[in-house]
Amino acid sequence: MIYPNQFGLFSIFGGKYLPELMQPIINNLFLIYLFIIKKKIIKLEILKFFSSFVGRPTPIYYCKNTSNFLKGSKIFLKREDLNFTGAHKINNSIGQVIIAKLLNKKRIICETGAGMHGLAVTCSCSLLNLTSIVYIGEKDFLRQNINIKKIKLLGGKIFIIPKGSLKESMNEAIKDWCNNIKNSYYLIGTTSGPHPYPIIVRDFQSIIGYEIYQQINFNFYKKKYLLASIGGGSNSMGFFFPFINTNVNLLGIESGGNNYINTSSSIKYGKIGILHGTYSYILQNNFGNIKNTFSISAGLDYPGIGPELSFYNFKNRILFYSIFNNEILYSFKFFSKIEGIIPAFETSHSLFFAIKLSFFLKYNDLLIVNMSGRGEKDL
Q: Distance between CA 60 and CA 242 in Å, rounded?
A: 16
When computed from its CA atoms, the radius of gyration of the chain, rounded to whole angstroms, is 19
- Using CA atoms, how far residue 152 sits from 118, 119, 140, 265, in Å, is 10, 9, 15, 32
Q: What is the 3-state secondary structure (H, E, C) of 240-302?
A: HHHHCCCCCEEEEEEEEECCCCCCCCHHHHCEEEEECCEEEEECECCCCCECCCCCCCHHHCC
Q: Give the Cα separation of 160 and 294 in Å (integer).
A: 19
The rounded distance, in Å, linking the Cα atoms of 136 and 115 is 8
Q: Which amino acid is at 91?
A: N
Contact assessment for residue 4 and residue 195, using Cβ atoms and an 8 Å cutoff:
yes
Q: Calculate the dihedral angle through the C-alpha atoms of 243, 226, 364, 217, rounding to the nearest 10 degrees.
A: 40
- Residue 75 falls in which region: left (phi positive, over 0), alpha (psi -120 to 50) or beta: beta
Q: Is 88 a catalytic residue?
A: yes
DSSP β-ladder status, 107-112 and 224-230 = unpaired
CA dihedral in degrees (181, 184, 106, 143; nearest 10)? 160
**Phi, psi for 18 (deg, rounded to 5):** -130, 165
Query: Of the residues 63, 110, 123, 125, which is catalytic?
Result: 63
CA distances from 201 to 241, 303, 335, 348, 369 (A): 12, 19, 29, 23, 20
Active-site residue, selected from the candidate residues 88, 117, 195, 349? 88
Q: Using an 8 Å Cβ cutoff, are 352 and 210 in contact? A: no
Tally of CB atoms within 10 A around 12:
13
On whether the CB atoms of residues 276 and 192 are closer than 8 A, the answer is yes
Catalytic positions = 63, 88
